[in-house]
A and B are shown apart, each in its own frame.
Chain A
Amino acid sequence: MTDQLSATFAALADPTRRAILARLSHGETTVKDLIAPFDLSPPAISKHLKVLENSGLISRTRTAQWRPCKLEPQPLKEVADWLSQYKIYWDQQLDRLDSYLQELQANQAKGNKGN
């Protein structure tokens, strides 16, 4: 396993960190807003953010004083790739199945009418 992937898995293994990521998926957030729904001390949150930052899953703006956190999609794309491709593949397959079935039934109905 590449180091990047190991870091991503280790970061995702923790439910609090997954919840942080889910919150960030709605857009950039300040640390203060991020802490609100969690029953955790600021140092504990800060530790989670550091793990997420080191694994490349989030980035934090250095310039702004309130240092907003932002989700970085690339590492997540890598781990989700197989399943998302599988899902897309199946959605397309089932589109084809659906058209095939509608056509088949229309032909059967026509055939019955002819008899």
Chain B
Amino acid sequence: MSVTELQGLPANELGFTRVINAPRSLVFDAWTNPESVIKWWGPDGFTTTVRTINIAEGGSWDYDMVGPDGTLYPNLIQYREIEAPQHLSYHHSEGNVDDPSAFDVTVTFEEWKEMTKITIRMKFQSAEIAETMREFGNSETFDNITSKLEDFVAEELAGHFHVTTRTIKAPRQLVFDCFTKPEHLLKWWGPAGMTMEVANVDLRPGGLYHYCLAIPNGDKMWGRFVYHQIISPELLSYFVSFSDKAGGITRHPMSPTWPAEMLSTAFFSEIDGITTLALYVKAHNASAEELATFEAGKSSMEQGFGGTFSQLEAYLANILD
């Protein structure tokens, strides 16, 4: 996708827009999560050296861009507004108070079908500086860094196992509510034919959903979700674990080297009243052995191995029915 320059802006401003192929919540997270942003920020050939980073309203990111020849370019970003997942504004300078090249930036993130439209506006201290920046190749820089961002997000997603993607004939907000509102959740959640007791529903980031399944042989199996991100109606993520009565994390009862914690992420998008739900899962806080187990399972699942697994699926579906 290509960069378009915004027209009709005041003479001291420059603005560009571009669509990138990734869900908005992930793009916003890549821009505002300190561990992520340092991995793709800056043009090709440049790296960043972080002094301090605190991405929050009133917080700042103090860093050097290191050029291909080793030259250091000091940068200070002071965050003003951070509204997940659609808006971000900050002041960008070289760190000194009366830096004439300092500028104000706003970035907006819009959902564009299942992709994200990023619009950036930079307000410089004069029309001359804006013109110099345009001639200096600001548009190419934006193209370059957003391409790196797109690659970063694609790589992040590739580290997840894609569980399933489903289209459902219902508006997105309603589908999302079915995952997050107890009055809906209890109507469809839980395997058919099993009794499910819900011990705790606390639908907020860090909150616990703790449940118990009564298995036909009389045993009880506990499970838990700890909610991570809730961005209504486009993203829901939570940490999944086996659990015990007390609500702690326990290991997989059959497979001791499976990661004890998995991060599960559901993306919801809507086109013409039809919701697409894509579900991904990845190992979380995993040891090297857990990661190896997950990777092996993931790659053997992803490669499909022809009919082998469709037989297995049919078999398992039979037992579970």
Q: Which A residues form the contact surface with B (CB < 8 A)?
A: 1, 5, 8-9, 12-13, 18, 21-22, 25-26, 71, 73, 76-77, 79-94, 96-102, 104-105
Contact = CB atoms under 8 A, between A and B. Distances in A.
B316 interface: yes
Nearest to B162: A87
B305 A21 contact: yes
Given A25-B308, A93-B189, A94-B164, A87 B292 contact: no
Contact of B164 (A9, A18, A91, A104): A91
Given A84-B309, A96-B188, A101-B175, A21 B164 contact: no
A102 to B, nearest CB: 7
A73 B297 CA distance: 13
Nearest to B262: A86
Contacts of B168: 94, 97-98, 101
A71 B256 CA distance: 26
A82 B308 contact: no
Contact of A25 (B164, B166, B303): B303
A92 B301 CA distance: 18
B303 A90 contact: no
A102 B309 CA distance: 30
A92 B293 contact: no
B281 interface: yes
A76 B308 CA distance: 9
Contact of B188 (A73, A79, A81, A93): A93
Contacts of B306: 25-26
Contacts of A80: 297, 300-301, 309, 312
Interface residues of B, number: 46
A81 B170 CA distance: 32
Contacts of B164: 87, 90-91, 94
Contact of B312 (A8, A84, A90): A84
A97 B300 contact: no
B241 to A, nearest CB: 13
Given A22-B303, A88-B320, A98-B166, A5 B258 contact: no
Contacts of B184: 100, 104
20 contacts: A5-B257, A9-B293, A12-B299, A22-B303, A73-B305, A76-B305, A77-B308, A77-B312, A79-B296, A79-B297, A80-B300, A83-B163, A84-B301, A88-B317, A88-B320, A94-B277, A97-B178, A99-B188, A101-B175, A102-B170
B156 interface: no
A77 B316 CA distance: 11
Contact of A71 (B175, B308, B313): B308
B286 to A, nearest CB: 13
B252 to A, nearest CB: 6
B279 A101 contact: no
A85 B189 contact: no
B188 A12 contact: no
Contacts of A73: 305, 308, 312
Nearest to A101: B170
A9 B296 contact: yes
A88 to B, nearest CB: 6
B300 A79 contact: yes
Interface string B156-169: 00000101101011
Contacts of B169: 98, 101-102, 105
